[in-house]
Amino acid sequence: MIPVEEARARILAPLRPTQAEIVPLAACLGRVTASPILARLTQPPADVSSMDGYAVRASDTGDLTVVGEAPAGHPWEGILEARQAVRLFTGSVVPAGANAVVIQENVTREGDTITLTRAVAHGANIRSAGQDFAKGDGLVPAGRRITPRDVGLIAAANHPWVSVHRRPRVAILATGDEIALPGDPIPQGGIVSSNAHALAAFVQRAGGEALVLPIAPDDRAAIAAAAQGSAGCDLLITTGGASVGDHDLVASALANAGLVLDFWTIAMRPGKPLMHGHLGPLPLIGLPGNPVSTLVCAILFVGPALARLQGLPGDAPRTTAAILGADLAGNDHRADHLRATLATDASGRLVATPFPRQDSGMLRALAHADALILRPPHASAAKIGDPVEILQLDGLG
Amino acid sequence: MIPVEEARARILAPLRPTQAEIVPLAACLGRVTASPILARLTQPPADVSSMDGYAVRASDTGDLTVVGEAPAGHPWEGILEARQAVRLFTGSVVPAGANAVVIQENVTREGDTITLTRAVAHGANIRSAGQDFAKGDGLVPAGRRITPRDVGLIAAANHPWVSVHRRPRVAILATGDEIALPGDPIPQGGIVSSNAHALAAFVQRAGGEALVLPIAPDDRAAIAAAAQGSAGCDLLITTGGASVGDHDLVASALANAGLVLDFWTIAMRPGKPLMHGHLGPLPLIGLPGNPVSTLVCAILFVGPALARLQGLPGDAPRTTAAILGADLAGNDHRADHLRATLATDASGRLVATPFPRQDSGMLRALAHADALILRPPHASAAKIGDPVEILQLDGLG
């Protein structure tokens, strides 16, 4: 059994980001940039007004003559002289000769004459050319997951296309004689397959493309044949068959296909029997069959692996400080991940209360949990109010 | 000018959730349930083993005879008698007559005989029928955004289809003679359209379906014609033309089409000139033309509106406590939303440091910001280290 951190490091080590593909701007949200995005133009392209008002010379006061109008997109072509004004709107180019904008609320207008009761400061209400960015500026670095704000910035920088890492393709293979697809006939003593579907959703949310393979029965030849469906993928995830029982067949089934095992147990709960290795060039993560273990392992290992495949670092999921809402016994040698609800106490602190039962067969409790309380190996007993580290599940799966 | 909270309440008040549609399980991630999801079966369906081992009677010790084997999915059909054992695996049905499972590591086996050195407790290593859920249990309430964990639970409950609220359709209309699509020729004094694309990404991330209409020039008839492209949508968002200048045409252009204005300015910065009303039955949010105002207003108003349209409450975005990384002057009568970076100090506290320039034309600063510092109207001057409320942008847009 190896520690959680070592397992994550060994899973991540051989992973390389996928190659770049070109996607239209409208499809780049959530993708990871494959190269830096530079400004193709200067923004604003010229000095522009930040308000509705009049372009003037800063020294002028009293009565000025309005000699023209420049709606946004229709610059006034002349050169503004002393005691002249040009009507501007937000975004209008400030004409040559002007060096300030007076806000329309601060003047009175009679015909073509405006009256300024006091002088306006040099540069007032002007956005200088390049105030936002200059042509050639690096705006979005490579290796960043694109937000809606980034989409706006990329558009403003005049890019109709974006180079991003291809979505990692993840094949998901569920095994077991006892499982049936939702809605399909259920064999006697059988259950409905949930792991593959939860994993596919997890992969999708993490930015990958999930390929759900047909369920393989508990038969070495069938498992090996089903695994061939992962051709062209960047990662194969199996669920079930990663334990040590006689019917845990995945490792032996794939051994014939050339599986090189790296490790197969982690000092953690739930999820001890996690298998990692390579099938030729294809990385394989073999998850245990029970759904709680599968999803906790997905959060701890599959999420970082998908991040790494997309060109992100793939750091451990970020923890948050909280305080305990119930006493906890001391922990054994396995890192524990207790399903918990969150609340905020009167002084604004986050309180994590573990469910009384932590059986790894209880999918409902995991789905209803707000967080996992992280209990390191050999953690001492802890009391209500003691500090703990948690993983908030909201953003993770 | 009305306060931010009142503006949000007035935008949300008339919105009703979209009707339900049926989507396959594999497409329900991130959608909002339209009705409660009940368990269609009991899970586990029978008492099952939680380990690899042997089904026994709890009182038995010493030598027991292995009379059968029950792989998961292949129950043993007999009735276990005293001093008998049946080989089980994780997930195997516990045979009639047995009431405990002894872990395989805790016995020795010779041929068909296993030896227990000590008795195993009644119920040990058995997951009782229904421990996770019983047929008819409510597993996922209506009005919940489906997570990957929920997908697993819905699958396990035997649902191949899920009833969810239809994605709200949001038409986005950018107006202005000065704007051009990314990659298209840019008019003299013009800029590249970024608002519509950032909004479309925002809508997509918030669970809506964005319909980006062609850019309308600054012409009443053209704007009214372009707005007809919103037919069948649940919300129309315009950008540009929401201010009070002569070239702010949206309100007057749509007045002829029957626009009923509700309000048109909010006591906030950036984003004061936000317009809200109805075009017949269609709610309209008119956002200001500058990109920072557009995105801040999207976070404060469009996000909650989309949540409400999907069957969620549409609460204000959740704030976090932080401390200031720079001094701030006192605030005027408008709620301010300062773009800021976040860091964590030595004692683990979140430190929000506003950018020195807060011009609403600076899209790059918004894209690079981690948070908005919320400054209520008339907030007093504040010092480094003072507490502030922030909106973390990461999950918001």
Examine residue A397 and state whether it is found in any structural domain, yes or no: no
Q: What share of chain A is helix, strand, coil (3-state, %, to 5)?
A: 20, 35, 50
Q: Which pair of tokens denotes residue A220? A: 């070495």
In the predicted structure, residue A247 carries a pLDDT above the cut 60: no
Establish if A132 touches chain B: CB-CB under 8 angstroms.
Answer: yes
Q: What is the pLDDT of residues B65-90, one digit of tens each?
A: 999 999 888 899 999 999 999 999 88
Q: Are A359 and B187 inside 8 Å of each other by CB?
A: no
B245 near A49, Cβ under 8 Å?
no
Examine residue A240 and state whether it is found in any structural domain, yes or no: yes
Q: Which pair of tokens denotes residue A199? A: 């994993």
Q: How far apart are CA B10 and CA B15, in angstroms?
A: 10
Same domain, A183 and A250: yes
Q: Which pair of tokens denotes residue A166? A: 């291809």
Same domain, A359 and A244: no
pLDDT for position B246:
53
- Using CA atoms, how far residue B306 sits from A52, B15, B285, in Å, is 32, 9, 12
Residue position matching structure tokens 């540009």: B240
pLDDT for position A117:
85
pLDDT for position B25:
98
**B271 falls in which pLDDT band (50, 70, 90)?**
confident
Angle at alpha carbon of residue A94, lines to B292 and A120, rounded to 5°: 90
In the predicted structure, residue A246 carries a pLDDT above the cut 60: no
Contacts of A41 in chain B (CB under 8 A): 186, 192
DSSP strand E in B179-290: where?
179-180, 191-192, 209-212, 235-239, 259-263, 268-269, 275-279, 282-287
pLDDT for position A243:
61
pLDDT for position B121:
95
A269 near A336, Cβ under 8 Å?
yes
In the predicted structure, residue A397 carries a pLDDT above the cut 80: no
Which residue, of B127, B148, B183, is where some domain finishes? B127
Number of domain units in chain B: 4
Q: What is the pLDDT of residues A18-72, one digit of tens each?
A: 999 999 999 999 999 999 999 999 999 999 999 889 999 998 999 999 999 998 8
Lowest-confidence region among A289-303, B114-128, B230-244? B230-244
Examine residue A259 and state whether it is found in any structural domain, yes or no: yes
Give percent of chain A with pLDDT exceeding 90: 85
Same domain, A187 and A256: yes
Same domain, A285 and A184: yes
Q: 3-state DSSP call for residue A327?
A: coil
Establish if B229 touches chain A: CB-CB under 8 angstroms.
Answer: no
Q: 3-state DSSP call for residue A281?
A: coil
Q: What is the pLDDT of residues A112-143, one digit of tens each?
A: 999 998 889 999 999 999 999 999 999 999 99
Q: How far apart are CA B322 and CA B343, in angstroms?
A: 10
- Residue ranges of alpha helices (H) inside chain B are 4-12, 148-156, 195-205, 220-227, 250-255, 291-297, 303-309, 363-368
Establish if A185 touches chain B: CB-CB under 8 angstroms.
Answer: no
Alpha-carbon Rg of chain B, whole angstroms?
A: 31
Nearest to B379 by CA among B302, B319, B327: B327
- Output the average pLDDT for chain A: 94
- Helix (H) or strand (E) holding A375, with range, is strand A371-375
Q: How far apart are CA A55 and CA A69, in angstroms?
A: 10
Half-sphere CA count of B4, side-chain side, radius 13 A: 24
Q: What is the pLDDT of residues A231-244, one digit of tens each?
A: 999 999 999 876 65
Same domain, B283 and B341: no
pLDDT for position B192:
95
pLDDT for position A242:
64
Q: How far apart are CA B291 and CA B360, in angstroms?
A: 7
Examine residue A315 and state whether it is found in any structural domain, yes or no: no
Nearest to B93 among A133, A189, A243 (CB): A189
Q: Looking at beta carbons, which pairs linking A343-348 to residues 24 or more positions away fall under 8 Å?
A: A348/B321
Same domain, B247 and B258: yes
Sign of the CA dihedral B111, B117, B120, B125? Answer: negative
Which is higher by pLDDT, B19 or B272? Answer: B19
Closest residue of chain A to B322, computed from CA coordinates: A348
Q: How far apart are CA A183 and CA A370, in angstroms?
A: 29
Which residue, of A127, A155, A176, is where some domain finishes? A127
Same domain, A205 and A284: yes
Same domain, B279 and B209: yes
Mean pLDDT over B103-127 rounds to: 93
Angle at alpha carbon of residue B170, lines to B240 and B291, rounded to 5°: 30
pLDDT for position A72:
83
Domain CATH code at residue B228:
3.40.980.10
Same domain, B227 and B296: yes
Contacts of A202 in chain B (CB under 8 A): 148
Which residue, of B165, B183, B215, is where some domain finishes? B165
Domain CATH code at residue B123:
2.170.190.11
In the predicted structure, residue B135 carries a pLDDT above the cut 70: yes
Question: Which domain, by its residues, includes B32?
Answer: 20-40+135-165
pTM summary value: 0.95
Q: How far apart are CA A341 and CA A373, in angstroms?
A: 10
Q: How far apart are CA A303 and CA A397, in angstroms?
A: 9
Closest residue of chain A to B204, computed from CA coordinates: A29
Nearest to A182 among B71, B155, B194 (CB): B155
Beta pairing class for A107-110 and B235-239? unpaired
Lowest-confidence region among A203-207, A288-292, A296-300? A288-292
Examine residue B223 and state whether it is found in any structural domain, yes or no: yes
Give percent of chain B with pLDDT exceeding 70: 98
Contacts of B207 in chain A (CB under 8 A): none
pLDDT for position A207:
97
Alpha-carbon Rg of chain A, whole angstroms?
A: 31
Nearest to A53 by CA among B244, B266, B250, B361: B244
Same domain, A232 and A289: yes
Beta pairing class for B371-375 and B387-392? antiparallel
Q: Which amino acid is at A183?
A: G
Contacts of A182 in chain B (CB under 8 A): 25, 154-155, 158-160
Q: Which amino acid is at B54?
A: Y
pLDDT for position A385:
97
What is the residue-wise DSSP string for B108-143?
EEETTEEEESSPPPTTTTEEPTTSSB-TT-EEE-TT
Phi, psi of A361 (to 5 degrees): -90, -5
pLDDT for position B244:
55
Contacts of B140 in chain A (CB under 8 A): 367
Q: What is the pLDDT of residues A331-376, one digit of tens each?
A: 999 999 999 999 999 888 899 999 999 988 899 999 999 999 999 9
Domain CATH code at residue B343:
2.40.340.10
Q: Are A397 and B148 inside 8 Å of each other by CB?
A: yes
Examine residue A314 and state whether it is found in any structural domain, yes or no: no
Mean pLDDT over B139-158 rounds to: 98
Q: How far apart are CA B333 and CA B379, in angstroms?
A: 9
Q: 3-state DSSP call for residue B38?
A: strand
Mutate to test the interface with A, among B125, B128, B318, B364 (most CBs of A within 10 A): B364
Same domain, B159 and B237: no
Counting one residue from chain A and one from chain B, the pairs whose CB atoms sit within 8 A come to 292
Nearest to B266 by CA among B335, B179, B211, B216: B335
Which residues between 187 and 216 in chain B have a beta carbon less than 8 angstroms from any beta carbon of chain A?
187-195, 197-202, 204-205, 212
**Predicted complex ipTM:** 0.95
Q: Which pair of tokens denotes residue B380? A: 């007093």
Examine residue A70 and state whether it is found in any structural domain, yes or no: yes
Examine residue B397 and state whether it is found in any structural domain, yes or no: no
- Using CA atoms, how far residue B247 sits from A80, A88, B214, B220, B262, in Å, is 22, 10, 19, 10, 21
pLDDT for position B215:
95
Nearest to A177 among B74, B197, B362 (CB): B74
Same domain, A175 and A283: yes
Q: How far apart are CA B51 and CA A175, in angstroms?
A: 17
